[in-house]
Structures are given as C-alpha cells and as structure tokens.
C-alpha cells in the first residue's frame, strides 16, 4: 500500500512538473520581450518577441556601473515598443554586490562603436542604431558621437540625458560611502568636523580605488587606447545626425550650463539639436516630468 501511495505521489509530482514546463513555454512564446546573449561582458540584450525588423538602441548606464540594473526597466519598456535594446556595460560589469565597486577610469570609449557594428549584423536589424546615454552614459554618448566613424559604426541618432560638454575625470561610488574611509587616529577618534586629511582609504573598498592615488588630470576615457585629459572639450559638432538632449535646470550633479554650451556649439556649427530644459527638475526626473521625458525619447526614436 505504501509503495502504491509513493508511486501515485511521484506521478503527481511529475504531472505538476510537466504542466509547469508547458505553461512556462507558453508564457515565453507570448511575453512581448525576450533576452538574448551578447559578446559584451555584463551587458543585457532585450528584443521584441516577434520577427519584425527593428531599430536598435545602445543604452549607456551612468556612474552606478553596469552591475546595477537601473537602465533595464526602461530597456524592457522600449523593447515592448518594438526596439532592440542593448544595455551596454562599459565598466563595473558582473560585480557581485558584496565586492568593491570598480572605478570609472581608463574606459575605452570606442566599445560603443563596436556595439553599433555588432547590432547591425543581427538578423532582425533594420540597420538603424541609436545611442541613448544617461549622465556619465550621456557623456559617453556625446564623446562617441564626436569620434571618427565609418558607415558600419555610425549611429543614426544620439539621445543624451544630462550630458557633459567636456571629458570628466574618474569616479567611484565608494568615495561617498562613510565605511570606505578610516580615521587615521583610530576608531571613534574622528568626528563629522574632522578634515579629510584625518581619513585614509579603506582597502576593503578596493585597493585600486583609493581616491588619493587617482590621477585627476586624466579623464575617465580612452580613445583607441590613448588617455584623454580632463576638461578637454568634446567636439560633438563633428556628428551630423539628429540629437536629442534633456536636462533639469536644477541639476545638482552636473550644471545645466554644460548642456547650454553643447546646444550653442551645435547651433553655431549649423546643426539643429532638439534640446529640452525642465525648469523644476534635478539630475534625475520624477513622476510627470520623467514620463514627459520618456515620451520625448519615444517620439525621437519614431522619427529615426
């Protein structure tokens, strides 16, 4: 009797597994977004779940690094709208949350051009590719747009939220974390009023991440292996395609003047950038303003 009950139980478990697998397969075939592999370490590639030709987007995250998934939600939304979105990790890729953050330094900017070339080789690509960067990713979008390009790696458009008009220096999120700085006088010997000289870098936050040992004369970026000096102007006027820029006039991270200089540079060169200033917004937009910004992004993409 016990043997029979055990066999019936095993058959029940098997039946549940079969039904679950069939359900998952059915769900996978109807869900509007699928994910595919990429040759770019730590990157994620989201595609519409259909056989239509589509425009591709190289989405560039900010200083939080590629191991964070802040950009993935918008990437999924864009995929539901018919776009193939490569969330390109350009630094701090595949990091386990318990490990130190990588410093944004010595990053090869031309990886974005490699991504454009790769996207155009995909079977369902319509050959159109757009850069879309946020903050430091916006800076990278503008930088890449200023580079010498060929027909196979030139983007059809650039979107940048709160970009910089100059090459900016290294950054590590740990530099703002209290746990990453040790009081040289000993535990509980320093106060909030203690000068920075009373602290030293905590090696547990990454031996190579010590802010005091960084060369801030060099920007975060390499171009074909060459270090670019900090504050060098980005020659975005070299790009001859459509550009959309959004920025908050109360940006507390990067001043709005940076965007104004980009706009002036482009207009002085005879370009017609689409630049939108949000009077009440900071570096990151909230609620209605963020929805409005995303609507502008979609409208821009539809016109590419």
57-90 residue pLDDT tens? 999 999 999 999 889 999 999 999 999 999 999 9
Work out the pLDDT band at 192, boundaries 50, 70, 90: confident
The predicted structure's pLDDT at residue 1: 56
Nearest to 304 by CA among 62, 131, 55: 55
Q: Give the model confidence (pLDDT) of 84-132 as tens digits.
A: 999 999 999 999 988 999 999 999 999 999 999 999 999 999 999 999 9
Taking residues 210-231, what's their average pLDDT?
Answer: 96
d(CA 89, CA 112) in angstroms, rounded, equals: 10
d(CA 217, CA 231) in angstroms, rounded, equals: 9
Please report, for the chain, the start and end positions of each structural domain, with discontinuous segments joined by +: 34-170+220-302, 171-213
Q: Write out the CATH class of domain 34-170+220-302.
A: alpha beta
d(CA 247, CA 11) in angstroms, rounded, equals: 60
Quickly list H helices, 81-231. Answer: 111-120, 136-145
Between 239 and 21, where is the model more confident? 239
d(CA 197, CA 130) in angstroms, rounded, equals: 45
Work out the pLDDT band at 193, boundaries 50, 70, 90: confident
The predicted structure's pLDDT at residue 29: 66
Residue identified by tokens 């697998």 is 21
d(CA 176, CA 186) in angstroms, rounded, equals: 20
Taking the CA of residue 224 as centre, how many other CA atoms within 13 Å lie in the half-sphere pointing to its CB? 3
């Amino acid at each position: 009797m016990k043997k029979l009950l055990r066999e019936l139980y095993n058959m029940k478990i098997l039946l549940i597994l079969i039904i679950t697998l069939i359900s998952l397969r059915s769900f996978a075939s109807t869900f509007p977004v699928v994910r595919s592999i990429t040759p770019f370490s730590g990157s994620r590639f989201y595609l519409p779940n259909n056989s239509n030709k589509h425009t591709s987007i190289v989405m560039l995250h900010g200083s939080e690094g590629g191991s964070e998934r802040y950009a993935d939600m918008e990437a999924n939304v864009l995929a539901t709208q018919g776009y193939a979105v490569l969330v390109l990790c350009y630094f701090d890729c595949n990091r386990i949350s318990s490990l130190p953050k990588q410093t944004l330094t010595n990053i090869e900017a031309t990886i974005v051009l490699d991504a454009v070339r790769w996207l155009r080789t995909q079977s369902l690509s319509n050959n159109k590719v757009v850069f879309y960067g946020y903050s430091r990713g916006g800076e990278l979008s503008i930088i890449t747009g200023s580079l010498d390009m060929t027909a196979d790696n030139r983007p059809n458009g650039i979107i940048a939220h709160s970009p910089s008009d100059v090459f900016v220096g290294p950054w590590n999120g740990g530099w703002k974390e209290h746990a990453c700085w040790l009081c040289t006088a000993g535990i509980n010997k320093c106060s909030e009023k203690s000068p920075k000289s009373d602290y030293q870098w905590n090696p547990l936050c990454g031996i190579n991440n010590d802010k005091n040992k960084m060369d801030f004369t060099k920007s975060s970026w390499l171009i074909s292996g060459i270090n670019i000096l900090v504050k060098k102007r980005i020659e975005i006027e070299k790009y001859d395609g459509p550009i959309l820029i959004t920025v908050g006039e109360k940006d507390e991270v990067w001043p709005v003047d940076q965007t104004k200089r980009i706009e002036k540079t482009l207009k002085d060169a005879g370009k017609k950038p689409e630049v939108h200033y949000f009077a009440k917004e900071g570096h990151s937009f909230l609620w209605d303003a963020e929805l409005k910004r995303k609507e502008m992004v979609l409208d821009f993409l539809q016109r590419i």
